[in-house]
Amino acid sequence: MAKVISTRLSQDGLRYGAKAPGSPFLGSGNTRSCFLCGKHRQQAQLRSKRVLGRSEMVCAPACTDLA
């Protein structure tokens, strides 16, 4: 059975009062996501790696090193 979700509109018409304004991507906006960990990084923090026969962008040197 599906879970029933109810939303309430505030007086100014917004649904989400706790949502932070702005974009979650800081800086110049020139980011891409790592194929392995999914985090968005600047282009300089990524390198190309062959994965499943395709070139994918992954964290350089490793996902755990950048944290």
pLDDT in tens, 13-46: 776 656 666 666 666 668 889 999 988 888 888 9
Residue 19: inside a domain: no
Residue 6: inside a domain: no
CB 26 within 8 A of CB 20: no
pTM over 0.95: no
Tally of domains within the chain? 1
Q: What is the Cα–Cα distance from 21 to 35, expressed in whole angstroms?
A: 27
Residue 62: inside a domain: yes
Residue 22: inside a domain: no
Close Cβ partners of 65 (under 8 Å, ≥ 6 residues apart): 59
Q: Where are the beta strands (DSSP E) in the chain?
A: 31-33, 40-42, 46-51, 54-59
